[in-house]
Amino acid sequence: VAVETYTLSKTYNMAGWRVGFVVGNPKIVQALQKIKSWLDYGIYTPMQIAATIALDGDQSCIEEIKEKYQTRMEVLIQSFKDAGWEIQKPKASMFIWAKIPSVVEHLGSMEFCKQLLQEAKIALSPGVGFGHHGEGYVRIALIENQKRIRQAARNLKVFLKRFEDTKQK
């Protein structure tokens, strides 16, 4: 009665490759295959080979990847908290969905991200890009190492301080 989709994006660090598969009801899978054949004709062969190697190879990398993202998430949440931005810990993912700090919520997610990029050299995805209910939030990708995350937190602290100082005047 159903199908299940699976991608290699996060499990094997292949985000953006759009490699995955569908399993389940044979009639539905066949219909999806037909629709897919009308839209395109396959993916780049080296990506297919890499996906095959990932699926058939040693799976210990999955735990290593999970631990890496877990550590990055913990470092980011703590260092951003120390910089003045309290963020809720996500249950899972290589992304954090965070409400923008109250001191800058008047900017909205797009302007906040724009100014943060220009002034603090921190790139985030504005929540409004995920639909109107995303306004007031940002998506943070946990792609940087701990050293870069801590540097971003130092830059963030300076950025937020400017708004706090303006608010106090």
Q: How much is the pLDDT for 93?
A: 81
Mean pLDDT, residues 13-34: 91
What pLDDT, on a 0 to 100 scale, did the predictor assign at position 169? 63
Q: Which of 68, 37, 64 is nearest to 143 (CA)?
A: 68
CB pairs under 8 A, 24+ apart, for 128-137?
Answer: 134/109, 135/108, 135/109, 136/99, 136/100, 136/105, 136/108, 136/109, 137/97, 137/98, 137/99, 137/100, 137/109
Task: Tell me which amino acid residue 103 is.
Answer: V
Higher local confidence (pLDDT), 94 or 133: 133
Residue 166: pLDDT over 80: no
Q: pLDDT tens, 25-63?
A: 999 999 999 998 888 877 889 999 999 999 999 999 999
Q: What is the pTM of this model?
A: 0.81
**What are the pLDDT digits (tens) for 67-122?**
999 999 999 999 999 999 999 999 878 899 999 999 999 999 999 999 999 999 99
Report pLDDT for 13: 86
**Distances from the Cα of 85 to the Cα of 29, 114, 119, angstroms:** 45, 17, 17
pLDDT score for 125: 98
CA gap 164, 169 in Å, rounded:
9
What domains are there in the chain, each with its CATH number?
3-57 (no CATH), 61-168 (3.90.1150.10)
Measured CA to CA in angstroms, residue 124 lies from 93, 98, 113, 136, 137 at distances of 16, 10, 6, 13, 10
pLDDT on residue 78:
98
* Distance between CA atoms of residues 94 and 32, nearest Å: 28
List the structure tokens of 162.
Answer: 């400017």
Read off the pLDDT of each residue in 122-149 and give the average, rounded to a whole number. Answer: 96
